[in-house]
Amino acid sequence: MKRSIGPVTLGFPLPVYMVGTYNIENIPNVMAASWAGICNSIPPCIAVSVRKERYTYKNIIEKECFSMAIPSSDLVKEADYLGIYSGKDSNKIYDLGLTHQRHDTLNCPIIQEFAVTLICKLSNSIDLGSHTQFIGEIIDVVVDDSVLVNGKPNLDLLNTFCYDYTTKTYKKIGDKISRAYLKHTQDRKDG
């Protein structure tokens, strides 16, 4: 039997991204966000939804760029902290002892402790009501050598995690269950 639970913000799994910005004085800030994901191929784009009252919202509007980093499981406590506290109240990067550098061409922070960072130029924003969806064109991806295999980031080496909205917990990404793009029955058996 299926039961209606009404209109809720539900999706599985929810990614955990670290949205990096600079404020008007060029002080770095990072916010955890799960309402995000790839939204276009050519040009490559990612979208993130941010409430208007968030410090990050103002920074994205002012600077017209942002970074999106993917944290590893060993940084889950730092990611949680970055999602709970506001850059309005303190310098969260300093509080956590994280190191940052400015990207070469866009005014976006790269946090050294996060192995993968997407550098995004704001290409569009859509007011959705409680949130504004910012669409960033990915102009660069900065990756630590330690997570690269054949020149591409490796999910197993990245050791990332997702957010479970219903239980308010973080969960590691699991084991391989099958190959993708299976074309016929024999491939399914080989999975």
Q: Is 80 exceeded by the pLDDT of residue 189?
A: no
pLDDT in tens, 51-99: 999 999 999 999 999 999 999 999 999 999 999 999 999 999 999 999 9
pLDDT, position 91: 93
**Which residue is listed with tokens 């009404």?**
6
Rounded CA gap, 144 and 147, in Å? 6
Say how far apart CA 52 and CA 132 lie, in whole Å. Answer: 7
Q: Are 132 and 126 in contact (CB under 8 A)?
A: yes
Query: Where does 4-44 show beta strands of DSSP type E?
Result: 14-15, 17-22, 28-33, 36-40
Asked if residue 33 has pLDDT above 60, the reply is yes
182 pLDDT band, cuts 50/70/90, is confident
pLDDT-derived band of residue 181, with 50, 70 and 90 as boundaries? confident
The pair of three-digit structure tokens given for residue 167, joined into one six-digit string: 């239980």
Q: Is 31 exposed, middle or buried (0-12, 13-18, 19+ CB in 10 A)?
A: buried
CA dist., res. 27 & res. 33, Å (int) = 19
Helix/strand/coil for 87:
coil
Residue with tokens 């209109």: 7
So what's the pLDDT on residue 190? 54
Q: How confident is the model at residue 111 (pLDDT cuts 50, 70, 90)?
A: very high
Q: Output the pTM of the full model.
A: 0.91
> Are 96 and 81 within 8 A, CB to CB?
yes
